[in-house]
């Protein structure tokens, strides 16, 4: 009877080993499938992230280029304004010289008139 019980236990143990081995094989296959799916998902996410990053970088470069062009235009306007200011300053300087010259001539005329009056 003991041999019979041992044989039954041995058979039961073999059956349990087979079941556990089958379950382990199934878990291994499931795990491999999960890793493969995660790898694919990771690649998709990376591709999407890279696409978004590239899109953002392109937008930023476009904005930077636009800002750069606006600054060039602004600098050109400022340069034009500066040239206009220089021209106005030059004109005013010439006018001031004419006014000073006319003022000197008027003083000289006045001095001559006073001298002439004094001699008369």
In tens, the pLDDT along 20-58 reads 999 999 999 999 999 999 999 999 999 999 999 999 999
Whether 120 has a pLDDT exceeding 70, the answer reads no
Task: Measure the CA–CA gap between 36 and 29, rounded to whole angstroms.
Answer: 11
Distances (CA, A) of 56 to 32, 45, 52: 36, 16, 6
CA trace torsion 73, 76, 77, 82 (10° rounding): 160
Whether 117 has a pLDDT exceeding 90, the answer reads no
Please, which contacts does 28-33 make with residues 24 or more away whose CB atoms are closer than 8 Å?
Answer: none
As a whole-number percent, the residues of the chain with pLDDT over 70 amount to 99
Please, which contacts does 76-79 make with residues 24 or more away whose CB atoms are closer than 8 Å?
Answer: none
Q: What is the pTM of this model?
A: 0.48
The arithmetic mean of pLDDT across residues 78-107, rounded, is 95
Task: Say which residue, 119 or 99, is predicted with more confidence.
Answer: 99
6-10, 13-17, 21-25, 69-73: segment of lowest average pLDDT = 6-10
Summarize pLDDT for 67-77 with one digit per residue, the tens: 999 999 999 99
């Amino acid at each position: 009877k003991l041999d019979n019980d041992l044989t039954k236990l041995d058979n039961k143990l073999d059956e349990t080993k087979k079941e556990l081995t089958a379950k382990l094989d199934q878990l291994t296959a499931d795990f491999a499938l999960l890793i493969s799916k995660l790898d694919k998902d990771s690649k998709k996410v990376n591709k999407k992230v890279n696409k978004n990053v590239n899109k953002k970088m392109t937008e930023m470069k476009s904005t930077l280029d636009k800002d750069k062009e606006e600054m060039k235009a602004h600098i050109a306007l400022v340069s034009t304004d500066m040239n206009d200011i220089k021209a106005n300053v030059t004109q005013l300087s010439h006018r001031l010289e004419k006014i000073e010259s006319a003022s000197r001539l008027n003083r000289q005329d006045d001095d001559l008139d006073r001298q002439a009056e004094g001699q008369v």
